Structure 1
């Protein structure tokens, strides 16, 4: 067992707690316990939620019985469809993480239709000492939306989207001017909002890059999409929310009503504060065009790759470090630079002109560089950006009865159902782009890329954004370091789907462990030059021992105070969520005595 695993598992914490306390540790109930609710109580709960309580099966439970059954063949057919996975009570977007977690279905799930269903579920879990799990779309790399022996409150069916021309949060009349906005129930995913706001209404709402990510979950993690440099984070545009807190009360949150909890859900991490049932976000004027730049370049030697890295960093600092450009480039061990960048506020001619110098420089050295995927730049009418029909970059959900506007980006296909070997993220301060620091940054990129592919997500750092967008982000719970960072590094390793019950679910542990080690080595190369850099809570290292500081920085103590006020008994628990250090790693045993 590694030291990171030891620390993460809470073994040391548990030992200290046992030594310092003679009291019996408080534990949640499991089905094997005498305290587990009787069938009659579950039947009463089912009545309260209008028949929407059910037992939960693992995603591939049917395959354990018969690999050729109709149910098993159906799940195999759809396992690379993120919307299908999200539509299953036991579904998780990824199929697990090495030495961290594997999908385990809840004992029961409430498929909530209304906030009253959520209230009933929260009260039942609190009164019966149950482990409670909250899930919308199940798009959690950390496995936060599933846990064995738990009660799941599943908001997927609550997916109504409503547009407003003039919205003012409750109690804010005369304080906040009316603005155009969109209200989304918790089960909606971003393609639902993009369809309603952009495709149909010709407006823009700042949301996530992955079309199938849950709206409420993204806001609670901070919320960075392709155009964050132009519009800021999703959480900074939250106007109002409704949430069911641990006491079973449905609360309205905005700048005037429950302002501290309102601030906490804006980047304080999903699953820690209550069950968010509804959010209202500001919308904006839609740019005429969205654009892109693309291609792959292979350097024919290590020396040439170092030249390529240096020239790209210089090019980014001089031409792309501004509110227009987002998304990513990657540097891989095979000396390939992959470009997949997005822009707003520029037309196609402007985008092409910006990239011409860089592409010409590459073409001028055919002995050093090989173009393995066409280099280009272009535009698209922004209103059609998320329109699935006729969009070669999107994969439509072709299931019978699926919403016609549902589809996911082809570039996101690889992560659907993937089993993670390891992953990490690091925010990179804009100071690295200064001429006196670029050399060490470029060297770190090269050294790290010897171990694993390094992705730079420029839209997940707000340095270079419009000043007012950076300022708005300071009023969220997200780690303040995002405001001075120009990119988020993401490094990950994984493989095909490996859900329990799937015939091909066996993992080559040695190979996976090697891959995880390579992730650590690549990340360390960058941490050597930014040792105290923060990390994005939604895309982070499961085993990060310094998670409080990495995810929230100076905001963590304030978040703890909000947690103690609204959830003093820790009903809402997720791995490395605010207050989770007081619990065992599975969330069942409280390690710290209540004051």
Structure 2
């Protein structure tokens, strides 16, 4: 979430200068209704029906030996004695590439009073669709809790569960470029177009390295380079330049997905179109195991770039005026497809700016910000605690790790393991997320109507009130208002909450502390402090929502305890998603916390409620 440092070091580069009547109730009834022959509960280790050693052995044979019995590397750590596995894990605790390579770990270590990172009992380290099919069939036949993990970035804890079988797709990471892709069954109805196919275990840095650094084109993906490609697509997916290129899900041309019956299906606009629509933003892990995605690619602009700075106000009154000016300026000068990423509002009366741009050069970006900079400098009650600077890089180098190592090493963090792929890097501004223990996380789509002159004052009051409790961020790239009609129309044909179409930003309020995997040496997280922080997060968001009381929320960046999650995540799209779930997974094999159809199961996913 904190991408404030992205590209900041690059400035030194020489050449840079309310849903529907009855619809939701009907949907819940359809998903939660009794299913003939469906299991009432799933089986745990030691219970009758848990697979025998011989049955696990047969699965291992079926998947070419790639069945793993899991244990956390911290399982045998103590304050006075650590194993080699524990020492290795502690050494690489802030390396997201290492964590992603551990099937027993997740990128988030837990959430206070919600969940902690606990490994599955077994994992199939899938290397092919056939491996995934074998795992799905085994879980269905033996009534096992099934979990799917690619990147493992879920804040909600959906990529692990104790006593479960994990389908781990990390090793399915091939990337294939296409000059003229046509989706299966769409010949004659769709023109060939440039595209990229990615297996579901690939990370976005793998996609950007192939498509942009080496291919000279653009694919809409995620901002954090270590996020898994399939999980982002299924969540909707926003990148830094979404106001121009749309959501990642809207760029999906085709997917291969293994459904609950063990069939590997092709899903696109012409083949299984209902399933295709559900994959595009319906949430990861609810409809099946995605094994491959194909996304459209675009022409690159000449430059990508960023503008970074921070301004402190001398008083609360001055800070309120600064917030007002920032919102006016955003509306008049930045509310367009060129600009994305963040403005943040701190309790210390600091406005932090970490914006990115596309389709402009450095001089054009500086000119765009000149009126705002002049306004600040003309008033003695403000000081730039970080000078506002703009910089641009040739777009082809935006995810080029070697380029940044040479010109701006402070902007990135490398995979520090021996023999690590040279293209693997993380933005330094995302480093704090690695292994974090969440205290709370809330988001809300802010309607563009709040930018009208007659509403701006109320918005300013709400932002100021929110910032008295916690740091608040507006992620402008995660709202599509201000985008082109083509971009908005494409996003409209996805399962994502339609509120995103008329939102100027996604507002985020969160809190966290350092890694707290169970079994780690040390005192563990301060739970009292975490709960107090969670209370402040709630107060902050409540203050903001006074001007947007019906705001929806982004499924991947949302409150674990969200009460109205069906409406908040998907709005009027939920009944349609529920119908897709009922068709392709009538017995509820695929379960994730607050996923489509999860209201039919207990919170741990083991007991059917209705």
- 1:303 is matched with 317
- 2:553 is matched with 535
- 2:3 is matched with none
Cα root mean square deviation, aligned? 1.6
Q: Deviations for 1:144-188, whole angstroms, at most 9, x for unmatched residues?
A: 000000000000000000000000001100100000000000000
Indicate whether 1:500 and 2:514 are aligned: no
Partners of 2:317 and 2:70 lie apart in 1 by 55
Partners of 2:136 and 2:608 lie apart in 1 by 19
- 1:6 is matched with none
- 2:471 is matched with 453
- 1:285 is matched with 299
Aligned counterpart for 1:481 among listed residues 499, 508, 520: 499
Aligned counterpart for 2:441 among listed residues 409, 414, 423: 423
Q: How far apart are residue 389 of structure 1 and its match? A: 1.7
Cα 1:571–1:307, aligned 2, differ >3 Å: closer, same or farther?
same
- 2:128 is matched with 114
Q: Give the conservation status (yes or no) of the 8 Å contact 2:497–2:569.
A: yes
Q: Give the conservation status (yes or no) of the 8 Å contact 1:388–1:395.
A: no
Q: Deviations for 1:183-236, whole angstroms, at most 9, x for unmatched residues?
A: 000000000000000000100000000000000000000010000001000100
Q: Give the conservation status (yes or no) of the 8 Å contact 2:437–2:512.
A: yes
Map 1:555-566 → 2, pairs under 5 A: 555-566=573-584
Cα 1:65–1:127, aligned 2, differ >3 Å: closer, same or farther?
farther
Matched positions, count: 573
Gaps of at least 5 residues in structure 2 are 1-27
The secondary structure found in structure 1 opposite 2:356 is: strand
Aligned counterpart for 1:579 among listed residues 597, 600, 606: 597
Partners of 2:450 and 2:76 lie apart in 1 by 52
Partners of 1:66 and 1:36 lie apart in 2 by 36
- TM-score, normalising length from structure 1? 0.94
Q: How far apart are residue 62 of structure 1 and its match? A: 4.3
Q: How far apart are residue 371 of structure 1 and its match? A: 1.7
- 1:370 is matched with 383
Aligned counterpart for 1:387 among listed residues 400, 407, 421: 400
- TM-score, normalising length from structure 2? 0.92
Partners of 1:321 and 1:505 lie apart in 2 by 46
Partners of 2:158 and 2:83 lie apart in 1 by 30
Cα 1:40–1:80, aligned 2, differ >3 Å: closer, same or farther?
same
- 1:10 is matched with none
Partners of 1:336 and 1:475 lie apart in 2 by 39
Map 1:233-272 → 2, pairs under 5 A: 233-272=247-286
Q: Give the conservation status (yes or no) of the 8 Å contact 1:294–1:376.
A: yes
Cα 1:59–1:551, aligned 2, differ >3 Å: closer, same or farther?
farther
Partners of 2:39 and 2:349 lie apart in 1 by 53
Q: How far apart are residue 399 of structure 1 and its match? A: 1.0
Indicate whether 1:197 and 2:211 are aligned: yes
Q: Give the conservation status (yes or no) of the 8 Å contact 2:39–2:587.
A: no
Q: How far apart are residue 59 of structure 1 and its match? A: 3.9
- 1:3 is matched with none
Partners of 2:252 and 2:293 lie apart in 1 by 7
Partners of 1:375 and 1:584 lie apart in 2 by 50
Partners of 2:82 and 2:73 lie apart in 1 by 15
Q: Give the conservation status (yes or no) of the 8 Å contact 2:79–2:521.
A: no
Partners of 1:127 and 1:332 lie apart in 2 by 53
Q: Give the conservation status (yes or no) of the 8 Å contact 1:291–1:343.
A: yes
Q: How far apart are residue 25 of structure 1 and its match? A: 8.1
Q: How far apart are residue 377 of structure 1 and its match? A: 1.1
Aligned counterpart for 2:91 among listed residues 77, 93, 108: 77
Q: Deviations for 1:387-416, whole angstroms, at most 9, x for unmatched residues?
A: 112413111112112211000000001111
Q: Give the conservation status (yes or no) of the 8 Å contact 1:36–1:128.
A: yes
- 1:471 is matched with 489
Q: Deviations for 1:564-583, whole angstroms, at most 9, x for unmatched residues?
A: 00000000000000000000
- 1:32 is matched with 46
- 1:9 is matched with none
Partners of 1:501 and 1:351 lie apart in 2 by 49
Indicate whether 1:519 and 2:537 are aligned: yes
Cα 1:102–1:52, aligned 2, differ >3 Å: closer, same or farther?
same
Gaps of at least 5 residues in structure 1 are 1-12
Deviates more, 1:425-434 or 1:292-301: 292-301
- 1:42 is matched with 56
Q: Deviations for 1:286-342, whole angstroms, at most 9, x for unmatched residues?
A: 011001110111111111110110000000000000000000111011111111110
Cα 1:562–1:505, aligned 2, differ >3 Å: closer, same or farther?
farther
Q: Give the conservation status (yes or no) of the 8 Å contact 2:439–2:534.
A: yes
The secondary structure found in structure 2 opposite 1:569 is: coil
Cα 1:416–1:436, aligned 2, differ >3 Å: closer, same or farther?
same
The secondary structure found in structure 2 opposite 1:468 is: helix
